[in-house]
Amino acid sequence: MGAAADRSERSLVTCDDITRMYQQNESRFSRGGGNTVTAIEDISLSIDTAEVVGIAGPSGSGKSTLMHILAALDTPTSGTIEFGGTDIAALSDRERTKFRMETVGLVFQRFYLLQSLSARGNVALPLVERGVSRRERRQRAETMLERVGLDDRVDHRPRSLSGGEQQRVAVARALVTDPALIVADEPTGELDTETGKRVLDALIETTEDRAVVIASHDRRALDRTDRVIELLDGGRRE
């Protein structure tokens, strides 16, 4: 599908012909001389506000590469990505980091929770750099933990929580800043059916005013989305 045809008035994120290449075996002694791997090629897509979009495709098809670009963690080698009218590739690294912190919530399969902090402390962390007062941070973190069904676990450290509970803490942390976009890479990967469902409930329930993108191999997760973008060998499968 062409970029123009895939665009709508309510578009939050628009990618036009994005390609991401990686240099392999690059070293100081063979600068630019390594093999080039094209992870994604000429992908165009648009994501609307309040949409839940799945990204599917076999291993190596480019899902994670696309998710990193959608999350403004990485930029394409060519093509453009616009987020609410902002050209992401035109930002400096510092500006892009600031933009990401204000706009995107990340949920990855490895939860990246800090072991030294309680569940509440982990969820409150993104609010520290925003200058939110300690009292309000605690309150907002507890509200968010309640929303994901962990109100009885607020004082627990991550290592005393199950995998599913840790993933729900990660979801609460991604939601606490009220981001316009949630980018979730394999959020239910290692979870049993019931726990996976709870994680998805927490992610999807709150989508009235935000978009959610979920990359997954898990059919049960993809079935919960509004539509699925299928990748194959770095391109969109038609």
Give the footprint of ligand ATP on this chain (CB under 6 A): 22, 24, 37, 39, 57, 59-65
Continuous H helices in the chain: 63-70, 93-103, 119-128, 134-147, 163-175, 193-204, 219-222
| Residue 56 CB neighbours (<10 A) | 21
Rounded to a whole number of angstroms, the minimum distance from the CB of residue 26 to ligand ATP is 9
Closest approach of Cβ 84 to ligand ATP, in Å?
A: 24
Is-contact 182 105, C-beta < 8 A? yes
Min dist CB 63 to ligand ATP, Å, is 4
Q: 48 vs 230, which CB is nearer to ligand ATP? A: 230
**Least Å distance between CB 218 and ligand ATP?**
11
- C-alpha radius of gyration, the chain, whole number: 18
Query: Side-chain half-sphere of 172: how many Cα atoms within 13 Å?
Result: 33
Residue number, 46 or 61, with CB nearest to ligand ATP: 61
Q: Toward ligand ATP, which CB reaches closer, 24 or 116?
A: 24
User: Least separation, in Å, of the C-beta of 153 and ligand ATP?
Assistant: 29
Question: Closest CB to ligand ATP among 61 and 225?
Answer: 61
3-state secondary structure of 230: strand
**Beta carbon nearer to ligand ATP, 20 or 120:** 20
**Which residues on neighbouring strands pair with residue 56, listed in sequence order?**
230
